Amino acid sequence: MNKDIATPIRTQEILKKYGFSFKKSLGQNFLIDPNILRNIVSHANLTETSGAIEVGPGIGALTEHLARSAKKVVSFEIDQRLLPVLEDTLSPYPNVEIIHGDILEADVEKVIAAHLADVEDIMVVANLPYYVTTPILMKLLHDRLPIRGFVVMMQKEVADRITAKPGTKAYGSLSIAIQYYVEAEVAMIVPKTVFMPQPNVDSAVIRLIKRDTPPVNVRDEDFLFEVARMCFAQRRKTILNNLQNGLPNGKSKKDCILNALDNANIDPKRRGETLSIEEFGALSNALYVEFKK
């Protein structure tokens, strides 16, 4: 087997060879612990018939572990300076395809059709750049891609928010937006010491498995997420207060809001953080009737 990329010595050698300097603006933090990479990949349950999509391969540390476990790996890299590095470090792995581009602007469905048509299932496995974690997840979920789920590393605080349960401090509109599509859990905590350069905070790997159907049937998904955002706008305020401030002409339409809350069987004095995703679904459907029809 080839020598792991993700050791401190090998990483230093590669960076030196290419005179590579980290760009803070791209959130570049490379993993230098092969055990953690093996652990991340094991959470994805890949087989020799699986495909993997990676975002931000860096110098290929995680990519090579994916290549050893999956049939095919497609990796999106935005930083042009890393393309020759990856061509070198991943040369032993013919089952890896590097795509130069921003995944937020890519037609991922087309990429899957072109490169992953012959795999049985697809997982997104990545050490996500901290500054675009949420937009990347929301895009890949919103696009309804034929993927089984995600095993992704991110800032621990964001992972806590994504996986939070109602009634907890971390629970918010992000928890609802993601858990609407997937079942979410924290798979492992990753200390900042295993990165080069070291970030300021610890990371977490989360596992998101796509639901067959959402936990609640809503008239308008975007409106559900909008209602959730409104209800968390000021966490200490009641749902009624937040909705009056957030909905168009909410102050003058207090009766409509109260009517919707009543129809959804929700006490107007409750706070957003106490509502389950099912209750948010019922509330958004009731408000839809009052405000959108």
- CA dist 33 and 14 (Å) reads 15
Among 128, 146, 276, which Cα is nearest to 206's? Answer: 128
Q: Is 77 annotated as a binding residue?
A: yes
Phi, psi of 201, rounded to the nearest 5 degrees: -135, 160
Contact 255, 272 (CB under 8 A): no
- CA dist 275 and 14 (Å) reads 50
Q: Is 29 annotated as a binding residue?
A: yes
Distance of alpha carbon 142 from the chain centroid: 11
Q: Is 33 annotated as a binding residue?
A: no
- CA dist 97 and 203 (Å) reads 27
Q: Is 102 annotated as a binding residue?
A: yes
Q: Tell me whether residue 165 is exposed, middle or buried, using C-beta atoms within 10 angstroms of its C-beta: 0 to 12, 13 to 18, 19 or more.
A: exposed
- Give the residue carrying structure tokens 């309804």: 144
Q: Is 127 annotated as a binding residue?
A: yes
Produce one character per residue of 11-31: b if its CB has 16 or more CB atoms within 10 Å, e if not. Answer: beebbeeeebeeeeebbbbbb
- CA dist 202 and 185 (Å) reads 17
Q: Is 263 annotated as a binding residue?
A: no
Contact 38, 65 (CB under 8 A): yes
DSSP state of 198: P
Phi, psi of 92, rounded to the nearest 5 degrees: -75, -5
Contact 70, 95 (CB under 8 A): yes
Annotated binding site for S-adenosyl-L-methionine: 29, 31, 56, 77, 102, 127
Annotated binding site: 29, 31, 56, 77, 102, 127
